[in-house]
Amino acid sequence: MEGARSCFHQHGFHAAGTAEIAAAAKVSVANLYQYFASKDELIIAIAEEDLRSDLALIAMIKSAGSIEDAMELAVDAITQEARDPSVSRLRLEVSTEATRNPGVAHVVLRAEQMQRAALVDWIRQSQARGEISADLDPETSAFALLCLIDGAFARVATGVLAPESAARELMRAIRAMFRI
């Protein structure tokens, strides 16, 4: 997976060849095909790996003692991930690939649904503790939060913002959105 991520980061999904990916992974092409029947399967596996990572982060946020602790954990994790330029760029590649690849689109849609549901639950819990205004709609807030995070990653990927600046701006936007 790391070899594929490296090749996809350097060349994009379509320009990276299986021979290059196998060489980066230090395996033969035949060995690569034992794990993934096609390059599309490898791209889908990367999207699914990112989904698991995102859901783990949301679970960590939900387990935090307070909204302040949750936001600090989230911003630290997002900043750490954004410091690796390949992460932000691959996130954009996955989003773009979802527009033309039904398998990737399915994973992206499932990720959206699962992340949104987990964030709605966290927002409701935070509202019940009185940390977030009760008049905010959890569904709309979860959607906005996902858009903010995706936007921050896009700005890091394109060089508009440095990871630390993106994290700072993201924190300010979240505080304004949740009125905290």
Contact criterion met (CB below 8 Å) for 43 and 12: no
pTM of the model: 0.83
* Helix H or strand E segment including 130: none
Indicate if the pLDDT at residue 149 is higher than 90. no
Q: Which tokens go with 86?
A: 């390949």
Dump pLDDT digits (tens) for 89-124: 888 888 888 999 999 999 999 999 999 999 999 999
The domain ranges of the chain are 1-37, 44-178
Q: Which pLDDT belongs to residue 38?
A: 87
- 30-47 average pLDDT score: 89
- 149-160 average pLDDT score: 87
**Is the backbone of residue 3 left (phi > 0), alpha (psi -120 to 50) or beta?**
alpha
Backbone angles phi, psi at 17, to 5 degrees: -95, 160
Q: Which pLDDT belongs to residue 106?
A: 93
> Which CATH number does the domain 44-178 belong to among 1.20.120.400, 3.90.25.10, 3.40.50.720, 1.10.357.10?
1.10.357.10
- 3-16 average pLDDT score: 85
- End-to-end, the C-alpha distance of the chain in Å comes to 39
Dump pLDDT digits (tens) for 40-98: 898 889 888 888 888 888 888 889 888 888 888 887 887 787 777 778 888 888 888 89
Q: Which fold has domain 1-37?
A: Arc Repressor Mutant, subunit A (1.10.10)
